[in-house]
Amino acid sequence: MRLSRFWFLMEEEFGSGYAHVLADSLVLSDYQKTVNDALGSGVAPRDVWDAVCDQQEVPTERRLGRDIPPKR
């Protein structure tokens, strides 16, 4: 997962404002670091996203983003 996709999913799930507040304040128990610190220390965005989802109890069906109908 690219970092841009990580932020897209964060903002889609938590809102554009709160996603960044959460990234600064949520300490991920898997890494004992905030989201931003984990990303900054080289943890893969996919692993950070999975940890955020687990900790924030994001339902499985929303972890890949919402379904967007194909353009015709």
Segment 18-63, tens digit of pLDDT: 999 999 999 999 999 999 999 999 999 999 999 999 999 999 888 8
* Alpha carbons 17 and 48: distance in angstroms, whole number: 19
Q: What is the pLDDT of residue 61?
A: 86
Instruction: Break the chain into its structural domains and give their ranges.
Output: 3-57
How does residue 4 score in pLDDT terms, banded at 50, 70 and 90? very high
Name residue 34's beta-bridge partners: 27
